[in-house]
Amino acid sequence: MSAQVGTVLDGKYEIVRSLAAGGMGEVFLARHLHLDELRVVKVLRRDLVTDPESQQRFLREARLATQVKHPNVAILHDCTRLEDTGGFYMVWEYVEGEDAHRRLEARGPFPVPLVLEIGIQALRGLGAIHTQGIIHRDVSPDNLMIFTDSHDRMRLKIIDLGLAKTLAPDPRFEVTQTGTFMGKLRYCSPEQASTGEGAELDRRTDIYSLGLVLYELATGVLPFDGAATPAAVVRRAERDPLPMAGRNPDVEVPEALDGAILKALARDPDGRYPDAVAFIEALDEVRSGLGGRGVVPLEIAGPRKGDGAPPKEAGVTRAGPARRPPSPSRAGELSREERADLLAQIDRAARRVREATKVVKNAEDALEHGRVDEARRIVAEIERASPGAEGLRRLRDRLADIDELEGRRARIAELERLVTGYIQKKQAKLARLALEELLDLYPIHPRRDDFESWVELLQGESEEEARAAAAHAAGREALADGDLDAARRQLDALRRTGVEGATEAFESEIAEAERSAEREARSERRRERFDTALAAGDWRTAERELAALEGSITRVGASALAARLAEAKERAEADAAEAPFERRFAARLAAGDWTGAREAARALAARRPDSARPEAMLTEVDDREERQRHDAAVADGERQIERLVAAGQADQARLALSILLRLDPANRRRRAFERQIAALSK
């Protein structure tokens, strides 16, 4: 029997309509006839039924799915073989909602609070998958189903483990050929695209893919242009992703969310979050910074419960098993031996049926009395001896339901241990996250009030510790800046938090800083006295202060001060040697004896050939002599103008004034001369 619309698989799954067709199989919406519940049936494609590798991959998906029991991962209900084709089919939980890809195309970028909620729930599911030693390898928006629960809260489930891979070296689960790319180019990690080159994958490849998904859900675009082309995928290993801020001008992305997602998109896996828990903590911190969880309206397009199933009056025929036409009668009568042999076969068949029925009844009794292990053993014996025994499938279904219930109980117990452990370790954030997951799984938990009170109390203690840490950090920063008053104020704030241990240690740090500041102040005063003595030529005082400083400053600093002292002494000695020449030079200069002044400068040059002073002296003599000649020429010009004015020679006086102004443009008597010459011209 093939999976066609209207047919019934194994007497209980009625095919309602086709949902999708992929590389490995076809997906249908089906109704469980006995439970009146919608399910999803995935059937191995008819043309792959005889391909051993395709069968192994199909069964691998089922085997891996049975290892994961988590509210954020779709549940596998059943897996069996089709009688007519020999192919396999799986029965999955039906999620009434829409995938993230379809919603993004229909409505554009998601609100930031919704992106955070999707990311946290998806990471919870990935964490459960990774805990079983499995990586998904196909994290993408169309594999994230979004729906609302009975309380109108947004929920998410990860679907399609068709490309999942166990990290354990189990040949039953690894059927991918070496060098074959598995996944979607648009959302694969750099190392996933390089698997053909020997790259090893771990859980961080799923972290990267989810980072790409969240980036796209928030902005509507991916962080790389041409992200679905092989060349663009190669560039991911060579370039950092573009920041989310400004990627879409119509979308505002908080800086904290940008940083959290870009860390997940680090090119080097060692630069990413090591696991799903670390990524959850980062997103939860962003969510806390935005003011808590909040309520985000969620509109889900797609069928609601019961949609898509044709009404009973629609005339859908439920096909039963085909009847075989009666075999043609043999010609003639049976011989006595043949009749005896046939009766013996019938008797043996009837005996096997009675025995199988009795064993099935024993298994059912064991289940009724809670002896599950005994029931499993009996079912295993029936499967080996009589795989088609009546009631066997019913037993399998009951055991599967028990497994699901036990898995749920085990997960609840595990979460209870996690919550208790995180509370004992005072890890408030992790305790709150684990408690949220526990209450999602078991809303009426008998210890709910106790757990919530403890987490709330722990959160308060964590806030006090955070305030203490902030005061301590601010105080240490003030110490680094040398602001002891500000450090003391932060110490008072630290005392008010009541956090033990931190106050005493920080008080010791401040005391040590104050002692260090006092030592530096003493050293500074000694440096000032050293500088004063050096300027005054008081070598003894300078040497005494230098000796006192050597114990409180670095060796390099002490050497620099000693060099300054030696240089000052050398300069003083040079000044003393040059003094007689300076006095002789000054006397000759004052007397206007330019020749004598030059001789004094040359004598100093002969005595101190390395000194620059003689050259300066000669320059000064030249300047003074030139200035004297200039002043004499100006005085002579002024006297000539006075004589010409007195003689009434206006033109000659005007010419003499122009010559004087070329020599001395700012002559102090210019205005007077001009008035006198103008008066002569009238």
pLDDT confidence band for 177 (50 / 70 / 90): very low
Choice among 67-76, 257-266, 549-558, 561-570 with the minimum mean pLDDT: 549-558
**Beta strands 37-44 and 25-32, pairing class:** antiparallel
List, in order, residues 6 or more apart from 140 with CB less than 8 Å away: 101, 184, 186, 187, 209, 213
C-beta contacts of 24-27 below 8 A and 24+ residues apart: 24/48, 24/54, 24/57, 24/58, 24/162, 25/58, 25/89
Provide the 3-class DSSP secondary structure of residue 176.
coil
Phi/psi region, residue 329 (left: phi>0; alpha: psi -120 to 50; beta: rest), is beta
Instruction: Tell me phi and psi for residue 144, to 5 degrees.
Output: -115, 105
Q: What is the pLDDT of residues 622-632, one digit of tens each?
A: 999 999 999 99
CA distance 362 to 393: 15
H-type alpha helices, 190-275: 190-193, 204-219, 230-235, 255-264
The phi-psi region of residue 349 (left if phi > 0; otherwise alpha if psi is between -120 and 50; otherwise beta) is alpha
DSSP state of 152: S
More confident residue, 141 or 475: 141
Say if residue 232's pLDDT is above 70: no
Report the share of the chain in percent with pLDDT over 90: 26
- The mean pLDDT of 326-347, rounded to a whole number, is 53
Average pLDDT over residues 581-601: 89
- Residue predicted with more confidence, 102 or 552: 102
Q: Residue 277 and residue 423: Cα distance in Å, rounded? A: 17
pLDDT confidence tier of residue 224, bands split at 50, 70 and 90: confident
* Predicted local confidence at residue 477, as pLDDT: 87
* pLDDT the model gives residue 342: 55
Active site residue 138: yes
The mean per-residue pLDDT over the stretch 298-314 comes to 39
The band of 321, judged by pLDDT with boundaries at 50, 70 and 90, is very low
In single-letter form, the type of residue at position 257 comes to: L
Highest mean pLDDT among 255-259, 302-306, 318-322, 392-396: 255-259
pLDDT band at 166 (very low <50, low <70, confident <90, very high): low
Using the predicted structure, report yes or no on whether residue 216 has a pLDDT greater than 90: yes
Across the chain, what does the average pLDDT equal?
80
The pLDDT, as a whole number, for residue 502 is 67
Question: How far from 180 is each of 40, 193, 401, CA to CA, in Å?
Answer: 29, 9, 37
- At residue 599, φ and ψ (nearest 5 deg) are -65, -40
Query: Does residue 155 register a pLDDT over 50?
Result: yes
Nearest to 646 by CA among 617, 680, 623, 675: 680
Tell me which residue has tokens 């059912």: 364
For the ranges 256-265, 318-327, 438-447, 521-530, the lowest mean pLDDT is seen at 318-327
Per-residue pLDDT reduced to its tens digit, 357-383? 778 888 888 888 888 888 888 888 887
Q: What is the mean pLDDT of residues 471-482?
A: 83
Span 480-499, pLDDT tens digits: 888 888 888 888 887 777 66
Q: Looking at residues 429-434, what average pLDDT do you find?
A: 82
Return d(Cα 37, Cα 94) in angstroms, integer.
9
Selected residue with higher pLDDT from 459 and 63 = 63
pLDDT in tens, 650-663: 899 899 889 989 98
> Where residue 612 falls among pLDDT bands split at 50, 70, 90?
confident
Residue 118 predicted with pLDDT over 90? yes
Q: Is 39 within 8 Å of 32 (Cβ atoms)?
A: yes
- From the list 563, 561, 566, the residue with the least C-alpha distance to 545 is 561
The whole-number pLDDT of residue 476 equals 83
CB 542 within 8 A of CB 530: yes
Q: What percent of the chain stands above pLDDT 70?
A: 81
Q: pLDDT band at 170, cuts 50/70/90?
A: very low
Q: Let me know if 157 is exposed, middle or buried by CB neighbors in 10 A (0-12, 13-18, 19+).
A: buried
- Mean pLDDT calculated for residue range 206-233: 82
pLDDT for 542 beyond 90: no
| Candidate list 99, 138, 258, 275, residue with the active-site label | 138
Q: Is 309 helix (H, G, I), strand (E, B) or coil?
A: coil
Residue 213 reports pLDDT greater than 90? yes
